[in-house]
Structure 1
Amino acid sequence: MNEGQGKTREIHDPASAQIIDRFLQPYDVGIPLIRLGDFGDGGYLVPDDLNGIAACYSPGVSQQATFELDLAKRGIPSFMADASVDQAPLDVPGAQFVKKFLGPRNKGAFMTLADWVTQTGPDTDQDLLLQMDIEGAEYETLAATPKDVLRRFRMIVIELHQLPSALTKPRFQKRALAAIDALKDDFTCVHLHTNNVSGAVDIEGERIPRVIEVTLLRKDRVQTRRPISGSDLPHALDRRHNPKRPDLDIPARWIAE
């Protein structure tokens, strides 16, 4: 088996897999994308629609905070959280750090997204941004977050993990579908980028990345809605996480023909 490639799997629940596929299909929404953060790991593409965003919530900072630093340059402060480190990796102006993990309930080293926002957030009529990389805990965390809290985020940038399992294994699929159900009515996918470090698994003739970066925009900000085709990806501002390895293609099931 080649490095980064898993064994072939089959989808046992095609209907549920199609829900995941439809949610991940990216659209051009009439707003150009810009890059925040390093040209490599820690950088993400977001719509150029940041005016009026009061704060960024960034769980799972680990050793990266260039995304938050670029936001600070635009006058947007960040709330950062990660129990695996003692402090934020960079001195980001206006940022606050808490040594906590995000999860579906408040217990021990874990806190919920809803409680974090309630305790620290600006006025409820102000939009927020969520940038989340929490190593697989994103599904249960999002599913446990009330929709009125999620709607406060104008855009969500999230790394989705364990995607081959989400498409093929009932237990993982159930968690993924619960998270998608919390998001699908209010958000549109506007960008995808594969993580070429984590590798891929063959599923019914397609290589499905284990990890993918997803940018979501709240639907009330959408100006147009045109499906993005394979020729549009990767975006000119995308960068490989490991420049010494080739990019992983976006699976055909997630892009327009």
Structure 2
Amino acid sequence: MKLMNLQDRRPYQKFRRPNRQLSELGKQFIKSLQVYNFDKKVRCGSNCDGGYVFAELDGEYDCYISAGISNEESFSRDFINKYKMSKNNSYGFDGTINDYPYHYTKNIQFIKKNINYYNDEKNTDLSFLTSQYNNIFLKMDIEGGEYNWLLQMDETQLNKFKQIVIEVHGITNNGWNCKYDDKVKCLVKLAKTHYILHAHGNNLGPVVSNIPDVIELTYVNKNYFNSIPEMNKRSLPIKNLDFPNGGSKDINLNFYPFKK
């Protein structure tokens, strides 16, 4: 991620379970960030900004999407190698760069478009892929653009994603060109179709009353599970799996909703 000047920050206390002091919107916000237990986790990518922790699931992926590239694609390199994805079903999107950094991998199709809520010569809503594939892995870091995309997605489209690793920006405020209320709508929508199995605060952004303003979340489709998983009891960050995005200390997430 690239640092931006954040505005309209809202104060938050260190959250416990939703209570009467929180507004209804605040309760929805906290509940939507609940992290659930999953033991088999792995990391792909660098041990700094650009690497992500995700769940090792049974079965295969029929499509890989990297949304937001810039000049760092170590995660895509490792994921494509690990799951033997090919250029036929791997796609990279970024309208802000001229070409893909192919020294990471050549097994990917580069499309010079940004992710958005509409389709034109410079933007895509990914519907041409969600209409083709049913077990997609999505890696997304698009500097606040995730919200416009998520707001227009419906449950049918979201259910095409078997697993998502996404960096969400400005979750405590009205920054990143999206109102706080709409950000909560996006998180609530994702919580209807997917469980969060991992969370990691990006220490390149601010922390507002213990809540990381920018956070990496790992979602797995609820259809993968036969029953509701237990709440996460494992300390976050996880040693030797999570690493700081920058040089400073990693962010402690050992409180609800991230840990029971």
Regarding TM over 0.5, the answer is yes
- CA contact 1:136–1:160 (8 Å) conserved in 2: yes
Matched, 1:114 2:124: no
Q: Which amino acid aligns with 1:188?
A: Y
Matched, 1:101 2:114: yes
Q: Write out the 4+ residue segments of structure 1 that deviate beyond 3 Å after TM superposition.
A: 4-13, 115-118
Q: Which amino acid aligns with 1:234?
A: P
Which whole-Å CA distance do the structure 1 matches of 2:68 and 2:114 have between them? 7
Which whole-Å CA distance do the structure 2 matches of 1:8 and 1:79 have between them? 35
Give the TM-score of the pair, scaled to structure 2.
0.82
Which whole-Å CA distance do the structure 2 matches of 1:232 and 1:19 have between them? 23
Which whole-Å CA distance do the structure 1 matches of 2:47 and 2:256 have between them? 27
Which whole-Å CA distance do the structure 1 matches of 2:47 and 2:151 have between them? 31
Look up the match of 2:31: 22
After superposition, the Cα gap between the structure-2 partners of 1:183 and 1:9, relative to the gap in structure 1 and judged at 3 Å, is closer
- Whichever structure has more strand as a proportion of its residues is 1
Look up the match of 1:196: 203
Q: Give the one of 66, 70, 87 matched to 2:99.
A: 87
Look up the match of 1:240: 244
Which range moves more in the overlay, 62-71 or 216-225? 216-225
Look up the match of 2:49: 41
- Whichever structure has more helix as a proportion of its residues is 1
After superposition, the Cα gap between the structure-2 partners of 1:69 and 1:227, relative to the gap in structure 1 and judged at 3 Å, is same
Look up the match of 2:17: none
Look up the match of 1:161: 169
- CA contact 1:129–1:153 (8 Å) conserved in 2: yes
- CA contact 1:136–1:161 (8 Å) conserved in 2: yes
After superposition, the Cα gap between the structure-2 partners of 1:251 and 1:141, relative to the gap in structure 1 and judged at 3 Å, is farther
- CA contact 1:6–1:200 (8 Å) conserved in 2: no
**Which runs of 5 or more structure 1 residues have no equivalent in the other structure?**
none
Look up the match of 1:127: 135
- CA contact 1:139–1:178 (8 Å) conserved in 2: no
Report how far residue 8 of structure 1 moved: 7.3
- CA contact 1:208–1:251 (8 Å) conserved in 2: no
Report how far residue 38 of structure 1 moved: 1.2
- CA contact 1:5–1:200 (8 Å) conserved in 2: no
Residues 117-175 of structure 1: CA deviation (Å, up to 9, x unaligned): 44xx4xx4x41111110111111201212322211111011001011116x9xx62232
After superposition, the Cα gap between the structure-2 partners of 1:200 and 1:127, relative to the gap in structure 1 and judged at 3 Å, is same
Report how far residue 50 of structure 1 moved: 5.9
RMSD (CA atoms)? 2.6
- CA contact 1:65–1:88 (8 Å) conserved in 2: no
After superposition, the Cα gap between the structure-2 partners of 1:228 and 1:19, relative to the gap in structure 1 and judged at 3 Å, is same
Look up the match of 2:40: 32
Which whole-Å CA distance do the structure 2 matches of 1:110 and 1:248 have between them? 34
After superposition, the Cα gap between the structure-2 partners of 1:42 and 1:8, relative to the gap in structure 1 and judged at 3 Å, is closer
After superposition, the Cα gap between the structure-2 partners of 1:90 and 1:40, relative to the gap in structure 1 and judged at 3 Å, is farther
Look up the match of 2:229: 225
Look up the match of 1:60: 68
Look up the match of 1:172: 179
Q: Which amino acid aligns with 1:105?
A: Y
Look up the match of 2:217: 214
Give the TM-score of the pair, scaled to structure 1.
0.83
Q: Which amino acid aligns with 2:44?
A: L
